Amino acid sequence: MSQFKTISHNDVDGLEIARFKEMDYYAVEEYDLPIELMMENAGLQLATLINFLVEKSAIIQIGVGNGNNGGGGLVAARRLAAWGYNVSLDIPLGITKKLPKSQLNRALKFGAKLAIIDAPEVWVDAYLGFSQRLPLPASYQHRIEQANKSNALKISLDIPTGFLGNSDDIYFKVNHVLSLAAAKKILSKLPSEATIYLADLGLPKVVYDKFGVTFPPFNNSTILKIES
């Protein structure tokens, strides 16, 4: 039995990405929620999901980019390393922005390794977030193609890298997706075998109310499994 509460997709309000951006930025500005705090929440939720899905002995590779989504992946790497997991980091284009760079340094201090694994058992996609654009840089395309050819369990933090609604594009072909704060309508266009979860990012109910979104029942579980 899942440790997460299960809810029907009919009980979840899906948002277009542009609308979710408005909601996210509004919460940050109006409720003094620093990006670093949101990043910590996202990374902890991702680590919690991975901890539930895989064995402690699993070899985990987390792909991260230079933005906030990558920062969430780095927080998850730090958390998992602290819990005793074998975690390696794949960083195709380097980390230069201040906040993700701080998260990278912390993750390495906690025991995550900066190395590309040939055959990871778990491949986590935190390369790019909801602001990604196509076409993807060649380095990302190459890594995603490698991931899709692998036998790894594939998990994405929010929108899978390369997926903007067209399954013919090169995108990270995910087994599990952790959608942050609110469900994204675009995720309904993924193949049916992808399992979608919804995680509490720490936004208050009044923000959901303002944007006409039903507040998910996070009081029972901070990660919800969405049934089709």
pLDDT value of residue 168? 84
Q: How far apart are CA 115 and CA 131, in angstroms?
A: 26
Give yes or no for a contact between 86 and 60, defined as CB atoms under 8 angstroms apart. Answer: yes
| Long-range contacts, 200-207 (Cβ 8 Å, 24+) | 200/41, 200/45, 201/38, 201/41, 201/42, 201/45, 202/33, 202/37, 202/38, 202/41, 203/23, 203/24, 203/27, 203/31, 203/33, 204/27, 204/31, 207/23, 207/26, 207/27, 207/30, 207/31
Give the C-alpha distances (Å, rounded to integers) separating 212 from 12, 25, 43, 150, 205: 12, 16, 26, 41, 11
Q: What percent of the chain has pLDDT over 70?
A: 99
Taking residues 29-50, report their average pLDDT: 97
| The pLDDT value given to residue 2 | 55
Q: Output the pLDDT for position 151.
A: 97
Portion of the chain with pLDDT greater than 90, in percent: 89
**DSSP β-ladder status, 195-199 and 176-180:** parallel
Q: What is the pLDDT of residues 169-227, one digit of tens each?
A: 899 999 999 999 999 999 999 998 899 999 999 999 999 999 999 999 999 899 999 99
DSSP secondary structure string for all residues of 101-149: HHHHHHHHHHT-EE---SS-SEEEEES--TT--SSPPHHHHHHHHHHHH
CA distance linking residue 150 with residue 121, whole number of Å: 9
Q: Which two tokens mark 100?
A: 């993700």
Residue 217, both tokens = 């029942």
Cβ pair 127, 94 in contact under 8 A = no
- Averaged pLDDT, 17-21: 95
Mean pLDDT, to the nearest integer, of 93-117? 96
Q: What value does the mean pLDDT of the chain take? A: 95
Local confidence band at 139 (pLDDT 50, 70, 90 cut-offs): very high
What structural domains does the chain harbor? 5-227 (3.40.50.10260)
| H helical segments located in the chain | 17-30, 35-53, 68-82, 98-110, 138-149, 205-210
Question: How far apart are alpha carbons 78 and 101 in whole angstroms?
Answer: 13
Per-residue model confidence (pLDDT) at position 178: 98
How is residue 221 written in tokens? 């579980």
Q: What single-letter DSSP state applies at residue 85? A: -
Looking at residue 188, its pLDDT comes to: 92
How wide is the angle at C-alpha 206 spanned by C-alphas 200 and 212, nearest 5°?
90
Predicted TM-score (pTM) of the model is: 0.96
